Amino acid sequence: MEKKAKLTIIIICLNLILYWSPLADENRVLIELHGPDEILTGSMFYLSVNVTNISSFDAANFDVIFNEKYLTVIEVYNGNINGKTIPVSMWDIIKKDTLRVILNLPGINGVSGNGTLATIKFKTLSPGTVIINLTNVVLANIDSNQIPCDLIIGHKIKILSKNDGNSDHSDPPDTNIKPIANSSIIPYPTGIIGEPIFFSGIYSYDPDGYITSYHWDFGDGTTGNQSNTTHIYNNSGSYKVTLTVEDNNQTQDNCERMIHINANPINKAPTPPIVNGPFNGTVGISYNFTIQSYDSNNDSIQYQIYWNNDTNNLTTSEFIENGKPFIINHTWTSAGKVTITAISTDGHITSEPTQKTIYIDTIVIETIGYLIDYNTDGIYDHFINMTTNKKNRVKYEDNLYYIDDNNDSQWDYYLSNKSDLIKITTQQKKDVPYLEIIFIFLSIASITFIKYNKKLKR
């Protein structure tokens, strides 16, 4: 009773989806039944419920209608879509001629592609022609919305008497109908070196018995012995895959498919890192920097950051998820103009470098150079010419900075400390030594001349 109650609840939920979920007209999936066309009385066969072009599949229920005079259900097996198992949550014969199947994918974030929803094992009971139909099909996606689908209704099977083909009605010869091998490969017809390929032989069947073994020859010297299996190719090229099945009478059949394995996609370097952080700072203060790069092959990324124009001062990150920012702190111990260099690598190829200039206790003077406060006392001590990169003298007096741009002992610029530390306010000579001497000489001469005139008047 508990099993019936669970079955009823799941069916009610799925049918609510059928009547209340929004329908979409595009991307409709196709569902059809696949099985033998003829089979002998008293034998087993498999009927698969195939699905194509399904997206974000999460749950389903459907009914299989058959004639109980000719068939009986033995077992219902899990399905498989794109290499992922579709578990059968529950199946039950709700009427003599009706099989109900419930599918649910807990813990899987939807499945997309082609494959089987389930495979049903039947046993034939008596000769005749029977049509198997699907009805009450409800498919749901991960958003609990109904997935529209088209059905190919009905699969017709002719059940043969063991005496069919024997005109004198004597005992039939001891003959055996060989099994039918049928393989599917996902992805097909191409794969990639190092990536798993899914192989399925569940479409194989035996008209007068059942399959007892599966043997795969993957064409590269390796084999497998499961109805469903995976294989990885280590070299590119074309391979002939052979599936051999054997039935309960030791009769075999095989089928062949060609699969083409390509080399790995061309590995491309990550993008040059994006470096976000301050453009200026102060000695002894920690600053945050965010480094971020992207890899078109979706490889993990490692970052390397060179600080202070020094290849020995290096920070290296762990390999982290593609596109995830790497955050790092750094503290400078000396003033000056520094350039940090960031690169990213996927372990094989390194990106182009990204450079960022930062001024530590330094102020830029338009395009001519910059002032540096070496002792962090708030007064800039030297001027660096941006063209020659040489250290020049600077004087601070009366809230003005006097700059000797070319080390010729003449003040070439002056700069207001309070009004604007960046903008040069004028370009004139200040405090030139020989002019001071001339001024003093002229002053002395003038005083001497005045005194001399006074003496003459007396």
User: Where do the domains of the chain lie?
Assistant: 2-164+175-262, 274-360, 362-433
| N-to-C CA span, the chain | 145
For 45-82, what is each residue's pLDDT tens digit?
888 898 888 888 888 999 999 999 999 999 999 888 87
Domains 2-164+175-262 and 274-360 share a fold: yes
**CATH superfamily, domain at 274-360:** Immunoglobulins (2.60.40.10)
Strands 237-247 vs 252-262: parallel, antiparallel or unpaired: antiparallel
Confidence at residue 175, expressed as pLDDT on a 0 to 100 scale: 66
Q: Considering only residues 142 and 13, tell me which one the structure prediction assigns the higher pLDDT.
A: 142
Checking if the pLDDT of 370 tops 80, the result is: yes
Checking if the pLDDT of 214 tops 90, the result is: yes
- If you average pLDDT over residues 428-443, what whole number do you get? 50
Confidence at residue 71, expressed as pLDDT on a 0 to 100 scale: 94
Exposure string for 377-416, b = 16+ CB within 10 A, e = fewer? eeebbbbbbeeeeeebebeeeeebbbbbbeeeebbbbbbe
For 314-342, what is each residue's pLDDT tens digit?
899 998 889 999 999 999 888 988 999 99
Q: Is 311 helix (H, G, I), strand (E, B) or coil?
A: coil
CATH number of 2-164+175-262: 2.60.40.680
| Among the listed residues 247, 268, 239, 260, the one whose alpha carbon sits nearest the alpha carbon of residue 352 | 268
Range in 66-70, 135-139, 243-247, 397-401 the model is least confident about: 397-401
Checking if the pLDDT of 206 tops 90, the result is: no
Range in 23-32, 200-209, 241-250, 369-378 the model is least confident about: 23-32
User: What predicted TM-score, i.e. pTM, was given to this entire model?
Assistant: 0.40
| Among the listed residues 412, 439, 440, 417, the one whose alpha carbon sits nearest the alpha carbon of residue 428 | 412
- If you average pLDDT over residues 110-122, what whole number do you get? 87
Query: Which range scores top for mean pLDDT: 28-32, 111-115, 128-132?
Result: 128-132
Checking if the pLDDT of 223 tops 50, the result is: yes
Contacts of 106 (CB under 8 A, 6+ apart): none
For 389-432, what is each residue's pLDDT tens digit?
888 888 888 778 888 877 777 787 777 654 454 444 444 444 44
Within 10 A of 77 (CB to CB), how many other CB atoms are there?
17
How sure is the predictor about 174, in pLDDT bands with cuts at 50, 70 and 90? low
CB 401 within 8 A of CB 394: yes
| Among the listed residues 149, 202, 157, the one whose alpha carbon sits nearest the alpha carbon of residue 66 | 157
Q: Report the mean per-residue pLDDT for the chain.
A: 80
DSSP single-letter state for residue 410: S
**Angle of CA points 130, 134, 138, to nearest 5°:** 170
- If you average pLDDT over residues 99-121, what whole number do you get? 84
Confidence at residue 445, expressed as pLDDT on a 0 to 100 scale: 66
Confidence at residue 368, expressed as pLDDT on a 0 to 100 scale: 81
Q: Is 418 helix (H, G, I), strand (E, B) or coil?
A: coil
